[in-house]
Structure 1
Amino acid sequence: MEELYVFGTGNAQAVHCYNTCFALKDEDEFFMVDAGGGNGILKILEEMNVDLSHIHHIFVTHEHTDHILGIVWMIRMIAAAMKKDAYRGQLQIYCHPDLTETISTLCRLTLQGKFYNMIGERIFLVPVEDGETVHILDYDVTFFDILSTKAKQFGFTTVLKNGKKLTFAGDEPLNRECVSIVKGSSWLLHEAFCLYKDRDRFKPYEKHHSTVKEACELAEELKIPHLLLWHTEDKQISERKALYTAEGHTYYRGELYVPDDREIIAL
């Protein structure tokens, strides 16, 4: 059975949890999505017993710091492992076409040449187009433009081995033009910046985010049986799971997940 490894669950300003990023685990291999905003990802991977040598596929959703800067550390560490013959094969990093130069430039400006030069040799930046399907591990992963109101951003959808469809909708409210992509999903991974009752405090709409209420109403409307919420504020982190779950079940009758960092969820 596949598992969802939740590395981080916070938004860009979170300090009490790591920025939202995760991986799908299939047997011993991981399909990683984003790497957060720093080298904190390395500690999380170690604590969750995720060996870098089992990560050969990473998807970077967009250019914001809380999603892209950690990829520099992933490239640096994997390149170093390659140099020591401690990493077999290639690393494929998927992203929308506008992002390849951004990642390359960040690495060129911050990494030693011996590590940066691995890009194009054994580390590859793979541009993917809206609607393109790529075979990753045992999955056909279809990437889609979430039609962000800020930086260009892609999400993806795939079908698990049990035949259930899983969709990752990025870190903005699902655009109505993307509803047809999400329909039929058994799992929806969606952002929820804060509780609806806290909207005046955190002002999610000004930041182009949604609340627990809107995310749950969407999942209920689309009849999605499993909804996972993350990319949240962290001011009430110790109570977040209970508070978000309670508010969410007011609007959603399915199975609701509000994970903490380092949780592993069976799919």
Structure 2
Amino acid sequence: MKITMLGTGNATVTECYNTCFVLSGDGKHMLVDGGGGNTVLRRLKQAGTDWKDIRDIFVTHKHIDHLLGIIWMARMICQNMSRGTYDGEARIYAHDEVIALIDDMARKLLSAKESAFIGKRLHLITVGDGEEREIIGRKFAFFDILSTKAKQYGFCMDLGGGEKLTCCGDEPYNECERRYAEGSKWLLHEAFCLHSQAGTFKPYEKHHSTVKDACELAERLGVKNLLLYHTEDKNIKNRKELYTAEGRRYYHGNLYIPDDMETIEL
């Protein structure tokens, strides 16, 4: 298994793309979120992944920096189904509110000829809190992170051999996620900025974490590998160095601060 970070930034970044990524293994790919626009198509091309090979998509929540790229994916899928240049089926997974929103937007924004494939070959699949599904040959458990901003789900993926990867979405860890996050081989967690710059970026006002917060959490939960994303972009040139230096003070596992388009073996 590997993860390719198509984007690593927060909602308003301009120096990188919004946070979204692809999980790949055994020739299968799952896209998680889509960023805020059709840059997701460019990022997939740059990664050497044909968008037509993305047959499974998971959307964490409705914020535009996660959702709008999914509408572009839906357009490309349905358009090519209509043209006879897309074989088989595709699936989008999310909680009920996001599924309803995608269905409504797609039917309003796509042509009738394209939207006719929604529910027939492009399946919009609602997942519930604690629900398990097999996707890309792996077992996924989805969970409500109990966001106070917009309903949001994370997930835990079975890596085999008793190991797991847990994605906490783009908000700080909530104790309701402990059963999934604790002891994870990989934890994907947001880190809006350096703790030393919290006064500048005000992460807590936006319900986000600092690097220090995320690293202290991973240390406490016994996480082996911590991957930080959904950051500000004012420190983008030195982000990896700066975030790593701060994080190492609080976390003693393997710390990853990926750039856009970076691929990491899981």
Category of TM-score, reference length = shorter chain: over 0.9
* SS, match of residue 156 in structure 2: strand
Deviation at 1:113, TM superposition (A): 1.7
Deviation (angstroms), 1:162: 5.1
Structure 1 Cα separation of the partners of residues 177 and 28 of structure 2: 29
More divergent stretch after superposition (104-113 vs 208-217) = 104-113
Q: SS state of the match for residue 152, structure 1?
A: coil
Equivalence for 1:51: 50
- The C-alpha deviation readout for 1:187-237, integer Å capped at 9, x for no partner, is 000000000000000000000000000000000011101000000000111
Distance between the aligned counterparts of 2:20 and 2:108, measured in 1? 24
Structure 1 match to 2:242: 243
Matches within 5 A, 1:55-134: 55-134=54-133
Using the alignment, how far apart are the partners of 1:250 and 1:173 within structure 2? Answer: 19
**Match of 1:238, SS?**
helix
AA aligned to 1:236 is N
Quick one: structure 1 residues 93 and 232, their matched pair in 2 at CA, closer, same or farther if it must change by over 3 Å? same
Give the Cα separation in 1 of the matches to 2:144 and 2:225.
22
The separation in 1 between residues aligned to 2:53 and 2:27, in whole angstroms, is 7
Q: Which runs of 5+ in 2 are unaligned?
A: none
1:8 matched to 2:11? The reply is no
Q: In structure 1, what is the equivalent of residue 145 of structure 2? A: 146
1:75-131 deviations in Å (ceiling 9; x for gaps): 111112222333221111000012211111111222222222211111011000000
Contact kept in structure 2, 1:9 and 1:20, CA below 8 Å = yes
Normalising by the residue count of structure 1, what TM-score does the alignment of the two structures yield? 0.97
Residue 259 of structure 2 aligns to a residue whose secondary structure is coil
How far the C-alpha of 1:163 sits from its partner, in A, is 4.2
Q: Return the alpha-carbon distance in structure 2 between the equivalents of residues 4 and 194 of structure 1.
A: 22
Are the aligned partners of 1:33 and 1:59 in contact in 2 as well (CA < 8 Å)? yes
Letter aligned with residue 20 of structure 2: C
Equivalent residue number for residue 224 of structure 2: 225
Structure-2 residue corresponding to 1:259:
258
- Secondary structure at 1:239's aligned position in 2? helix
For 1:232 and 1:162, how far apart are their aligned partners in 2? 32
2:200 counterpart residue number: 201
TM-score (norm 2): 0.97
Classify the secondary structure of the residue corresponding to 1:121: coil
Q: Which residue of 1 aligns with 2:170?
A: 171
Output the CA distance in 2 between the equivalents of 1:200 and 1:120. Answer: 47
Q: Distance in 1 between matches of 2:114 and 2:200?
A: 44
| CA distance, structure 1, for counterparts of residue 210 and residue 224 of structure 2 | 19
Q: Is the Cα–Cα contact under 8 Å of residues 139 and 158 in structure 2 kept in the other structure?
A: yes
Unaligned runs of 5+ in 1: none
Q: What is the rounded CA distance, in whole Å, between the counterparts of 2:100 and 2:28 in structure 1?
A: 27
Contact 1:53–1:86 at 8 Å: present in 2 too? Answer: no
> In the alignment, residue 102 of structure 1 is paired with which amino acid?
L
Moved over 3 A (4+): none
Task: Find the aligned partners of 1:125 and 1:7 in 2 and give their Cα distance.
Answer: 23
Does structure 2 retain, via aligned residues, the 8 Å contact 1:230–1:259? yes
Match of 1:27 in 2: 26
| Greater mean deviation of Cα atoms: 42-51 or 158-167 | 158-167
- Cα-Cα RMSD: 1.0
